[in-house]
Amino acid sequence: MPLVTDISAFAELLSRDHGLCVVSTLRRDGSIQASVVNAGVMPHPLTGEQVVALVAVGGARKLHHLRADPRATIVARAGWQWAAVEGNAEIIGPDDPHPDVDSQRLRALLRDIFRAAGGTHDDWDTYDRVMAEERRAAVLLVPRRIYTNPETRQGAQ
């Protein structure tokens, strides 16, 4: 598997399948939990570093696992091409407050992630209300390792 130095191949694959990908987290017993999510690549709201971002409903098992161990892997695929990003996740949300992110900045961040994952919305007020009611959180995966299969790498060049 070729190690990739940038996240462009991953981002390109996301755009080909509506931002759908699989995120894997670690349970306390060391087994792996996987779930399908919508994600996007965007600048980290505080550092500007490119991250894989997704929105998770409050109370989701993935959030529980990431609080205990922030390591995660997220895989995007389209046909036979795939790319994986491994790294540590940061959670910012109503149950995981960050001192530099107030409620208005969180509202904007959740919108930004939704758009980065290819989403559009006709009623942002309703979107904001649902995100707050469901205690949705931003999950920002900071890449530590990015790799692809050879076909993916050739397609990204």
Q: Do 152 and 3 touch, CB atoms closer than 8 A? A: no
Amino acid type, 36: V
Q: Do 149 and 80 touch, CB atoms closer than 8 A? A: yes
The number of C-alpha atoms within 13 Å of 154 and in the hemisphere containing its C-beta is: 5
Query: pTM higher than 0.85, yes or no?
Result: yes
Residue 6 is classified by DSSP as: S
Determine the Cα–Cα distance for residues 38 and 49; give it in Å rounded to an integer.
20
Q: What is the mean pLDDT of residues 92-104?
A: 96
Has residue 114 got a pLDDT over 70? yes
* Per-residue confidence (pLDDT) for residue 29, from 0 to 100: 95
Has residue 68 got a pLDDT over 50? yes
Rg of the chain over CA atoms, in angstroms? 15
Please, which residues have CB within 8 angstroms of residue 57's CB and are 6 or more apart in sequence?
Answer: 134, 135, 136
Share of the chain above pLDDT 90, in %: 83
Determine the Cα–Cα distance for residues 5 and 17; give it in Å rounded to an integer.
22
Has residue 61 got a pLDDT over 50? yes
* Per-residue confidence (pLDDT) for residue 157, from 0 to 100: 46
Three-class SS of residue 112?
Answer: helix
| CATH 2.30.110.10 given to domain 3-156 | yes
Q: What is the mean pLDDT of residues 14-19?
A: 89
* Structural element, H or E, at residue 132: helix 124-133
* Per-residue confidence (pLDDT) for residue 17, from 0 to 100: 85
| Sequence ranges of the domains in the chain | 3-156
Which residue's entry shows tokens 């076909």?
151
* Per-residue confidence (pLDDT) for residue 105, from 0 to 100: 97
Q: With cut-offs at 50, 70 and 90, classify the pLDDT of residue 34.
A: very high
The number of C-alpha atoms within 13 Å of 87 and in the hemisphere containing its C-beta is: 22
Lowest-confidence range among 5-9, 35-39, 94-98, 142-146? Answer: 5-9
Q: With cut-offs at 50, 70 and 90, classify the pLDDT of residue 18.
A: confident
